[in-house]
Chains A and B, each alone.
Chain A
Amino acid sequence: MSAETAVLVALGLPLLVALGIVLAGRVADNLREAVTLGGALCLAWVVWGLLPDLFAGARPQVTLSEVLPGLPIAFRVEPLGMLFAALASGLWIVNSLYSIGYMRGNNERKQTRFYACFALALAATMGIAFAANLFTLFLFYEMLTLSTYPLVSHKGDEATVRSARVYLGVLLGTSIGLFLPAIIWTYHVAGSGDFTAGGILAGNIAGADVGLLLALFVFGVGKAAVMPVHRWLPAAMVAPTPVSALLHAVAVVKAGVFSITKIIVYIFGVDFLFAEPSSGWLVFATAFTIITASLVALRQQNIKRLLAYSTVSQLSYVVMAAAVLKPLAEVGAAIHMVAHAFGKITLFFAAGAIYTAAKKTELHQLRGIGRRMPWTMGAFTIGALSMIGVPPTGGFVSKWYILAGAFQADNLLAIFTVIASTALNAAYFLPIIFMAWFAREEAGGVEHGEAPPLVVLALLITALLTLGFFFFNGPVIELETQLVEGMTP
């Protein structure tokens, strides 16, 4: 299979899987789950198969059709998108294992629709990862929003529908109201929206307009959850936990920060943006988001909402790293996408495992739970340590690179923010870990053991990935170094 075919297969396969799930869902549940799992394995095999070409420096590209003159639906695989696609497709396998255990363990309704929408969301994610221009990116960005809406509103009761409305309203509103005009503005001044090494805007736009366009992009890509467009993420926590885990810790939110990073690197051009003072506000905005979201997380009582605010804060790490505009920081942004994905999916898996085994959702209920669910809480601990950035976890690697990039740019604000938020992360995660392992369990609680085996298996895998990323991150860094070739250090 040539690389070009592989790109098309990666885009089409999840759609076929969705169709297969709908058909198989009418026959038997086991068959449907087999289709999901098989589809996830095939997708990962196809996507990961592209990696050798990328390391060799190839950039496979495919043009599907030209919708309007100069506005093609086209795909081009480059290091950042490759990383994102590999991450999402790989974790889909683990998440499918987890979903099966979770959805069965909780007797969730409408499971066929759930798995089908999940596959559609993955198709959209692949489209975002491989998009060769802004128009294609936007197309799949909206598809991702729409395909995840039924997942968020899965439960279907009044409160869930209200949260889903916030979810759709914020994501669709920002994308139509801000992202779309930013894209059209870009096409208008640059004559194209192709992702090009070094950017396409230099010389076409200058002064305060640069900062304004950047703002339209950053807030238009609501999925990156830079404050004040972060409200949808806590709202999305009403979804079943596998959705929160893969989509709202990996695919959807990473699609947001990935888009912003890609736009900064390939549309603005890092060096152009660095030389332009009106772009400086972004570091302040992200620093504010990191600190504020961490402070809000400190006050949360619900496990998933705490994780959501932690995600808001961690996403802004990526955007801030991209906004520092130095090669090491861009690499740090890419690595943090991976490190945070491993850590946060582990945390969500653990939260879902606790819900499945004990129906517990609040922090204060976690006293002493480590003794009943040692595997789950062990994984939770590893995930939390990665959020704080303690070695030997993946979070340490990315923080190292982000800090190095910040020093490269002499950006004191970024340095201070990383340090301060590390302290805050420790302040809200360490008490939970302490409480879970060492506090005495409240009397009169329900008797329960570990979560279903598939659930535990999934979260152990991701916990191992979190640890493993500390030791085996060479290929990722090698790949992403290609991203920053030619940038001024």
Chain B
Amino acid sequence: MDLTPHLPALQVVAPLLAAPLVVLLKPRGLAWAGASAVAGLAFCIALAMARAVSAGAVLRYDMGGWSAPYGIELAVGPFSALLLLIITGAGLVAIIAARTSVNRQIDAARQPLFYSAWLLALAGLAGIAVAADAFNIFVFMEISSLASYVLIAGGPDRRALPAVFKYLIMGTLGATFYLIGVGMIYMMTGTLNLADMEARIGEVAHTNPVLVAAGFITIGLALKAAVFPLHVWLPNAYTHAPHMVTVFLAACGTKVAVYVLIRFDFFVFQANLPGHELQSTFFLLPLAVLGILVASAVAMFEGHLKRRLATSSVAQIGYIILGASFATEAGLLASGTHLFNHALAKGGLFLAVACLACHYRDLRIDQLAGAARSMPFTSAAFVVCGLSLIGVPGTAGFISKWLLISAALEQGDFAWVLVAIVLVSSLMAVVYIWRVVETLYFRPAVAQPSSPGEAPLSLLLVTWLVALANIGFGLAPQFPLTLSSAAAQLLLGHTL
């Protein structure tokens, strides 16, 4: 039996069904093994779909045999496939590495629940990527958000509770805004299916409810995506979450919202609403630029390692939005590639943080002084991923930076300003990464590690795997490039 046509559904159904089953796996370690197996399966499905669509095809699936626009449709094109790779890849890598870290941070009795929530988050995030109608995007967004609240608050750090409360409020606001917008469009067009919506919205493009809906949807998703200045929930939530949850969510959590924002915008609005491109030029682009500069500057002075990296994420989301806001093929290519490359770099950095956290309870940067002496491999992995975040040639980060600057150069009069902004923020990244590196390598130790030595081997191996992937995709980036270039063409051609 050829499973290929069913893969889009399996991508979501597998983790969703497995989630309640994992709760039953009480014996120690079994829940982890089960959840890892399912995450591995999800990754294989994503990989298979990525191969199937990399030429630009779209996999469509009608749930229950009801055809669109009446039934629920799932669609996987190159853009969704790229995102699914990021989501399932991050989910898999983090969960494999998670075991020792989770054993330290979460009591054994609650671990099955934790892994169950993990799979729910995975299912929700994957669902957003495969859903082809606006309402199911909302449903999966809620599933993933509720699961991630649980994950973030699940650690031993009590400060996670206020952080997650803030995240809950902001996240709900964002989702509600999105739902209001979708409701208004439904009111005007009578459809929720994105393809159908695209066909019908042109007739009512001039009406106020559609304009208001576009506003609500953009703001709501920007909140979810932590676009500056709607990012305030992010640093605390990432800082106080269990380390492995941070790895998972930092690699793909906000990117999913960016994906919906880009997809909705290019697919439904861009071609149909007259003058809509102004939203990119005068709204998203300035916000992206501000985000890049302000967040990078703040990251330079942030004293807590996790919060510094989380703040840097806000700047990196700015890069992704910046590329998309050019509304050109080169810009979208840069955007898509950076989605992938940033997940690699930031995921690797947070993995290294998790390694450090095995021996250092306090992750303030000055407390980590001299850690490279007892943890040379962890520190070296941090350097490699840090270089990728900076965008040094030979690493994945360089590819996206090159593409972004090339795209910015096509932007006419303001090209030089944009190029300068990207370069200045790269230099700020040098500062905030290298201060950590110097502290790890050269400062005399302040805090004694709880037990001298390297992180557990499983964690270390995964960290190095990601670090090497940063170099690998810096020297041979063909795979993500093919996907994101096909995605860019489809987004501009409105055929997704």
Question: A: which residues have CB within 8 A of B?
Answer: 65, 67-68, 71, 73, 135, 138-139, 142-143, 146, 153, 156, 161, 165, 168-169, 172-173, 176-177, 180-181, 184-185, 187-188
Please tell me the number of chain B residues within 8 Å of chain A, measured between CB atoms: 27
Q: Specify which chain A residues have a CB less than 8 angstroms from the CB of B403 in the assembled complex.
A: 68
Q: Specify which chain A residues have a CB less than 8 angstroms from the CB of B434 in the assembled complex.
A: 165, 168
Quick check: B405 and A184 within 8 Å, CB to CB?
A: yes
Quick check: A65 and B476 within 8 Å, CB to CB?
A: yes
The answer for the CA separation of A168 and B115 in the assembled complex, in Å, is 43
Main secondary structure of the interface of A (DSSP, over half): helix
Bitwise interface map of B from 433 to 454 toward A, beta carbon under 8 Å scored 1, else 0: 0100010011000000000000
Binds A, one of B239-247, B419-427, B486-494: B419-427
Quick check: B393 and A139 within 8 Å, CB to CB?
A: yes
Q: Specify which chain A residues have a CB less than 8 angstroms from the CB of B427 in the assembled complex.
A: 173, 176-177
Q: Specify which chain B residues have a CB less than 8 angstroms from the CB of A71 in the assembled complex.
A: 402
Q: Specify which chain A residues have a CB less than 8 angstroms from the CB of B430 in the assembled complex.
A: 169, 172-173, 176
B475's contact among A73, A138, A153, A169, by CB below 8 Å, is which?
A: A73
Is B409 an interface position by the 8 A CB rule? yes
Question: B: which residues have CB within 8 A of A?
Answer: 387, 390-394, 399, 402-403, 405-406, 409, 419, 423-424, 426-427, 430, 434, 438, 441-442, 474-477, 481
The answer to whether A181 and B394 touch (CB under 8 A), given A168-B434, A188-B409, is no
A181's contact among B399, B423, B476, by CB below 8 Å, is which?
A: B423
Quick check: B423 and A185 within 8 Å, CB to CB?
A: no
Quick check: B409 and A65 within 8 Å, CB to CB?
A: no
Number of A-B contacts (CB under 8 A): 61
Nearest CB of A to B329, in Å:
13
Quick check: A165 and B438 within 8 Å, CB to CB?
A: yes
CB-CB nearest 8 A-B residue pairs: A139-B393, A161-B442, A184-B405, A188-B409, A177-B423, A176-B426, A142-B393, A142-B392
Quick check: A68 and B399 within 8 Å, CB to CB?
A: yes
Q: Specify which chain B residues have a CB less than 8 angstroms from the CB of A184 in the assembled complex.
A: 402, 405-406, 409, 419
Chain B minimum-CB-distance residue to A185: B409
Q: Specify which chain A residues have a CB less than 8 angstroms from the CB of B476 in the assembled complex.
A: 65, 67
A68's contact among B394, B402, B442, by CB below 8 Å, is which?
A: B402
Nearest CB of B to A168, in Å:
7
Q: Specify which chain B residues have a CB less than 8 angstroms from the CB of A187 in the assembled complex.
A: 406
A156's contact among B394, B399, B442, B475, by CB below 8 Å, is which?
A: B442
Quick check: B392 and A67 within 8 Å, CB to CB?
A: no
The answer for the CA separation of A361 and B434 in the assembled complex, in Å, is 31
The answer for the CA separation of A135 and B401 in the assembled complex, in Å, is 13
The answer for the CA separation of A143 and B394 in the assembled complex, in Å, is 9
Known: A172-B392, A176-B423, A177-B427. 5 other contacts (CB 8 A): A65-B476, A67-B474, A165-B434, A176-B391, A176-B430
Nearest CB of B to A193, in Å:
12
Nearest CB of A to B122, in Å:
32
The answer for the CA separation of A168 and B433 in the assembled complex, in Å, is 12
Quick check: A146 and B438 within 8 Å, CB to CB?
A: no
B423's contact among A73, A169, A180, by CB below 8 Å, is which?
A: A180
Quick check: B475 and A65 within 8 Å, CB to CB?
A: yes
Chain B minimum-CB-distance residue to A183: B402
The answer for the CA separation of A73 and B398 in the assembled complex, in Å, is 14
